[in-house]
Structure 1
Amino acid sequence: MQTQSNLSKGIGIAVLGLSAIAVLLPLAIVLETSFLPPGAALTLPWANARWSMENYSQAWRGGNFLRAFANSTLVALCVTGLQIVTSALAGYALARLQFWGRQTVLLIALATLVIPFQLLVIPIFLVLKSAHLLNTYGALILPTAANGFGIVLMRQFFTTIPVELEEAAQLDGATKLQVLWQVLLPLARPALVTLFLFTFIGEWNDLFKPLVFTTKPELITVQLSLASFQEQFTNNWPLMMAAAVISSIPIVVLCLVGQRQLVRGIAATGLKN
């Protein structure tokens, strides 16, 4: 019995190890390629001893990453903040308030999860044009200020919180908004962090909105800057990989900081329907 247990544990460790290698090897190749001297041929990781930081300095200057980082950070933070507000309000209403059509609203929110944003781009473009918002920060922020995923996520988390806590607060004279702000949201920290990370990462990696709704160089984002390194017939792979590493650093740091809350939020929102 002990032998079978050890064998199963060994197989599990081997599978996990191979999976880790499959995931990390491409990342290692990207990182190693970014340090190759300009014009060097691609090699296996760490096979080339001649490493250079020139690609990073050239990518930072050529990609205008300072402005791109500022624009992407502003857009991602604004969209994330708006989604947290709209998702918390709508999620609380769907989880606690009794009103006609509540299930229909929830089904609509779920249905939006399977509708690609690209299908909505023409009506959104026309609305932004009529509102004179094209080539503004509003064109990058407002189309995704509310999201069905965030609404469903917050609704699921609120259903896991005992109703007695809200009733006790209401007996003390708290309004529903006060209950939401002072009781539920502090308890919903894992879900809020999860929503923050998913939304921020999604906005940081978004290329479609800046590509369609903006043309001004002043509104360049990280993904537009990264796309500018793609040439029509040839590619400077070390330079492109250096630009990719630069654009990924904020996301990696953010995930490392919030990984514990992320796991707790995903686990908690799946406990109760």
Structure 2
Amino acid sequence: MSETQPPPPLPNQQSRLARSLNLLTLLLLMLGAGLVLLPLGVVLATSFLPASMAPGVNASGWTWQNYRQAWLQGNFLLAFANSTLVALSVTGLQIILSALAGYALARLRFRGRQTVLLIILATLVIPFQMLVIPIFLVLKWGHLINTYGALILPTAVNGFGIYLMTQYFQTIPVELEEAAALDGADRLQILWRVMLPLARPALVTLFLFTFIGEWNDLFKPLVFTTRPELRTVQLALAEFQEQFTNSWSLLMAAVVIATIPVVVLFLLGQRQFIRGIAATGIKS
């Protein structure tokens, strides 16, 4: 005698269950977002407090004066100019070199190609701090200490960028290159006119990763430069913190000022960023 099977759930029951799961997922996501945004909210709220008040003290009124004072005392105009120049230079070099190397590793068949790729990936596990002494000696030998070259050249190429472009180029059909080759295009023309336009999500992803990383970098300016005119945003922020340790409102205002450019940049490129990250995992 066979056991009777329970009746399947009714369509209304299924829809209610799906709505309940969606609501639970939404609540969990909102809770996670709140936990992430809470420290940022504290920083933003503290930046509007009067400079003489400590965090957690009820203020009678908020003020924008902290931002003006932080901008002037931190000399952020010069720091923004230096950070922008360094970040754009490093980002441009990484995009060019990563695109060339990534295309070669993705399309050219030569002996040792996989070994080269593995060596490039192995460089990702080496902390930059371990290489600071040999890099410093090379920069000193080239008379680049206390120059923009010391801030740009050490990170002009990166294994992550090469791997990212290699993975994305492998997702592009080879037939498109073959059609361009039949029209008389050479390798560089195929890369410039066919591959790079199709790889825009990966390029935007690499741009965001590199630019934000260079904007937030404190190690290189701290080690390779001592001239005040080469001070970047993060170095200015560190010096500001040492100078105004007890003025939390000014410090938080300076943090907000230093954070705004990268937040705006990420919001502008987030759609391409997500597409680039998703596509690079399609094919190994």
TM-score bracket, shorter-length normalisation: over 0.9
1:17 aligns with 30
4+ residue runs over 3 A deviation: none
2:134 aligns with 123
Letter matched to residue 185 of structure 1? L
Question: Is 1:160 matched with 2:171?
Answer: yes
- Bigger mean CA offset, 112-121 vs 233-242: 233-242
Larger radius of gyration: 2
1:229 aligns with 240
Letter matched to residue 74 of structure 1? L
- CA distance in 2: counterparts of 1:231 and 1:192, whole angstroms: 37
- CA distance in 2: counterparts of 1:217 and 1:41, whole angstroms: 31
Letter matched to residue 104 of structure 2? A
- CA distance in 2: counterparts of 1:179 and 1:234, whole angstroms: 55
What whole-Å deviation, never above 9, does each CA across 1:238-267 have from its counterpart, x for those lacking one? 111000000111111101111111111111
What's the CA shift for 1:233? Answer: 9.7
Question: Is 1:26 matched with 2:39?
Answer: yes
Letter matched to residue 206 of structure 1? D
1:135 aligns with 146
What whole-Å deviation, never above 9, does each CA across 1:13-38 have from its counterpart, x for those lacking one? 11111111101111111001000001
Question: Is 1:203 matched with 2:214?
Answer: yes
CA-atom RMSD in angstroms: 1.4
1:4 aligns with 17
Question: Is 1:218 matched with 2:229?
Answer: yes
2:262 aligns with 251
What's the CA shift for 1:234? Answer: 4.3
What whole-Å deviation, never above 9, does each CA across 1:90-116 have from its counterpart, x for those lacking one? 000100001111111100111111111
Unmatched 5+ residue regions in structure 1?
none
- Bigger mean CA offset, 224-233 vs 253-262: 224-233
What whole-Å deviation, never above 9, does each CA across 1:87-142 have from its counterpart, x for those lacking one? 00000010000111111110011111111111111100000000000000000000
What's the CA shift for 1:2? Answer: 3.1
- CA distance in 2: counterparts of 1:90 and 1:77, whole angstroms: 20
Partner of 1:228: helix, strand, or coil? helix
1:262 aligns with 273
Unmatched 5+ residue regions in structure 2?
1-13
- CA distance in 2: counterparts of 1:181 and 1:194, whole angstroms: 18
- CA distance in 1: counterparts of 2:277 and 2:60, whole angstroms: 42
8 Å contact kept, 2:50–2:59 = no
Partner of 2:54: helix, strand, or coil? coil
Letter matched to residue 184 of structure 1? M
- CA distance in 1: counterparts of 2:136 and 2:274, whole angstroms: 36
What's the CA shift for 1:11? Answer: 1.4
Aligned length: 271
Question: Is 1:188 matched with 2:188?
Answer: no
Change (3 A) 1:179 1:86: same
- CA distance in 2: counterparts of 1:265 and 1:144, whole angstroms: 22
Identity, % of aligned positions: 72
